[in-house]
Amino acid sequence: MRLGLRIQGISTIRAEMEAKFSEHGVVPDVVDVAPKETAKVEWSSPEQCSADFGNVLTPTKVQNAPDVTWSAEDGALYTLIKTDPDAPSRKDPKWREWHHWLVVNIPKNDIAKGEEMSGYISAGPPKDTGLHRYVFLIYKQPGKLTCDEKRLPNTSGNDRGGWSARAFVNKYKLGNPVAGNFYQAEHDDYVPILYKKLGF
């Protein structure tokens, strides 16, 4: 009986996730299929907050890299992607996507031990462009990846626009995301500080 209730609960959560990914257009703008499990994305500084399938956070709150965890298998390696499909705006996404974080070869869910391809950058929506979606995706790798993409520090916005999570995933045969989450944000007073850091 308890197992049946647990399975029913998991099915409900998955259905809710699929609904949220579709409702907010993450499917099909970023991925073809919604992940089956939740990635917990939590910030402790400058204040506690978390991503919750489209909730609204501020760039100020998410300026530092969050803790991201998911149900990981022993011995498996994972890829983490954070991407914004709404650059420079949802109405005119001519720079889709602008990727904010890319880490590969993560053992289990120990991101610090992974290979950071692109350093974490906070949300930075331009002024008067409304809400942007910031999508976190986790992929289980078929093995260790050897990537030829340029390494990007968190102090530069170069080579981040016009990116495609779908193209990266297809290139390295990562399949569908195993976990994910997303939040939304719009311009606030932290964004000019971020732009200065990025050399804009």
Instruction: Please give the chain's pLDDT, 200 residues, in tens.
Output: 444 434 455 577 778 889 999 999 999 999 999 999 999 999 998 889 999 999 999 999 999 999 999 999 999 999 999 999 999 999 999 999 999 999 999 999 999 999 999 999 999 999 999 999 999 999 999 999 999 999 999 998 999 999 999 999 999 999 999 999 999 999 999 999 999 999 88
Peptide bond into 46 cis (omega under 30): yes
pLDDT score recorded for residue 1:
45
Q: Per residue in 56-84, is it b (16+ CB within 10 Å) or e — as a string?
A: ebbbbbbbebbebbbebeeeebbbbbbbb
- pLDDT score for 5: 39
The token pair at 20 is: 């949220």
**What local confidence, expressed as pLDDT, does residue 200 receive?**
85
Question: Is the peptide bond preceding residue 28 cis, with omega within 30 degrees of 0?
Answer: yes
The predicted structure's pLDDT at residue 46: 87
N-to-C CA span, the chain: 58
Tokens, residue 7: 């399975």
Alpha-carbon distances of 77 from 35, 54, 62, 80, 127, rounded to whole Å: 17, 27, 26, 10, 38
pLDDT given for residue 8 in this prediction: 52
Tell me if the pTM is above 0.85: yes
The fold for domain 2-198 equals Phosphatidylethanolamine-binding Protein (3.90.280)
Q: What is the pLDDT of residue 9?
A: 52
Work out whether the CA dihedral 101, 102, 108, 111 comes out positive or negative: negative
- Rounded-to-integer distance, Cα 91 and Cα 158, Å: 23
